[in-house]
Structure 1
């Protein structure tokens, strides 16, 4: 096995052995609380009836199901994710919605043997975690028909996302930043925040007509201060700092939790914690020729 193979396997293993349970625990926040960032572009997205659509990093299947409704019964949607545990929920949702035009496969998007059969590839917060973004983009390019479109949503800088930035600052007041040997799920949520870098990656992968649209809006990051605090210590930049600090984090847990509650409490609206967020909706096209 090559070094690259080992690294990819480690990322996929980390999703499955560490992150999947945490993501499932906070599914309501991750799927519905953050849905503003897919709802806005998907409402505007025009899909031809019968289109074949690929959903990359589809998670629990909510966007794949929306796309299945858009393309209609003559169309097809394939949802890919590296976590089979998420896809069990996705398949259940598809059955509950009576949809026969969507299926889900656990696979590594960087390596899946695509044929050029898709009119559209969509991804909500899945592209940022590829170890080799250009490799993944090239494979997605291979999956699209000539003239096919790629649309994906990624977070902008942490400074534009206080729902992640503020809790990280709080935890770093108590604990050291993660070391270079920290286990990780990939480059991370802000790895595609720079339009110049992402434009170059897409161009190298063969895409044209590249466009970035900023989308700012509220996200619900907990149905109480306690829920939001737990979420931050489980996932995201603050959660990574806490996890990697190990025993020291547990020793200081009461003080860290108290500090997080103080920071999050002012954002309570009708019982929920609502904070500011910012994403890019990026579109690109595979040339016709």
Structure 2
């Protein structure tokens, strides 16, 4: 059995998409595509550490939430095998084209990709397993997003999602932000953002409570430490930080002042990355994440 290619996964039509969805598509998607080599090449170290450990049965139906460029969906398609099916969902259709190309290139026939915002809700009981790599932190309403992930699971179905741990454990993002904020003010309360931000699920107690409210049971946290790619070289690393993440948000929101002080900022960031470990054709820095697993209670 398969999910029809014409199935509307969303539980109901969305009259007005979230402003965050527009922001991702209009502002962030082009930047993420430009630095796809960093995001896939680096962040995959975390999924590579946990995906082989996931208890995925052959023939499972799997949903990959915030699937991005489709590399994790392709991997999960291999795990579930030809009798199973994987659906990758993301609010940025531009990302999904990369997933579709990947599936076609490698002749992966049991994966498909759909544009959508899971926070708007999905049909009940479609999937045996739901996975997300660094996507759930950006839910505008974390409990609603997590509940939607649980609702689309079959009774007894499993969830696994990867989120960043505390800022202090992730210098790959925070070191550059701290340097940029020596020159520019922090974004104001009315700043355009990607959502709550990459560390919104870093606190174990808070995130556990949200998941419990969303209806999950058997919630477990496992720490994963890994080096992540931050750029091919110093120039690439500096440009990446000024485009994406907390440093990029600070730079973008500062507008004309940021451009005025760009030479000073670039010089300071370049000094930071001169001290970074260089190997495997790039620069690598420490990072830390949580693998969070849970279950939809059986009836």
TM-score (norm. length: structure 1): 0.96
Are 1:37 and 2:46 an aligned pair?
Answer: yes
Offset at residue 5 of structure 1 (A): 7.4
In 1: Cα distance, 2:228 partner to 2:67 partner: 19
Offset at residue 113 of structure 1 (A): 2.8
TM-score (norm. length: structure 2): 0.93
- Give the equivalent residue in structure 2 for 1:281: 291
After superposing the two structures, state which structure 1 stretch, 11-20 or 43-52, moved more. 43-52
- Give the equivalent residue in structure 1 for 2:74: 65
Q: Secondary structure at the match of 2:131?
A: strand
In structure 1, list runs of 5 or more residues that go unmatched. Answer: none
In 2: Cα distance, 1:26 partner to 1:170 partner: 21
Contact kept? 1:233, 1:242, Cα under 8 Å: yes
Count of matched residue pairs: 285
Offset at residue 97 of structure 1 (A): 1.1
Are 1:107 and 2:83 an aligned pair?
Answer: no
- Give the equivalent residue in structure 2 for 1:252: 261
In 2: Cα distance, 1:127 partner to 1:5 partner: 22
Q: Which contiguous aligned blocks of 4+ residues in structure 1 show a shift greater than 4 angstroms?
A: none
In structure 2, list runs of 5 or more residues that go unmatched. Answer: 1-13
Q: Secondary structure at the match of 1:221?
A: strand
In 1: Cα distance, 2:284 partner to 2:44 partner: 13
Alignment deviations for residues 14-57 of structure 1 (CA, whole Å, 9 cap, x no partner): 00010000000000111111211111110212311100000000
In 1: Cα distance, 2:95 partner to 2:186 partner: 29
Are 1:203 and 2:231 an aligned pair?
Answer: no
In 1: Cα distance, 2:282 partner to 2:43 partner: 13
In 2: Cα distance, 1:207 partner to 1:197 partner: 14
Q: Secondary structure at the match of 1:35?
A: helix
Q: Secondary structure at the match of 1:100?
A: coil
Alignment deviations for residues 205-258 of structure 1 (CA, whole Å, 9 cap, x no partner): 110000000001111111101100100000000000000000000000011000
Are 1:234 and 2:243 an aligned pair?
Answer: yes
In 2: Cα distance, 1:178 partner to 1:117 partner: 40
- Give the equivalent residue in structure 1 for 2:125: 116
Offset at residue 117 of structure 1 (A): 2.0
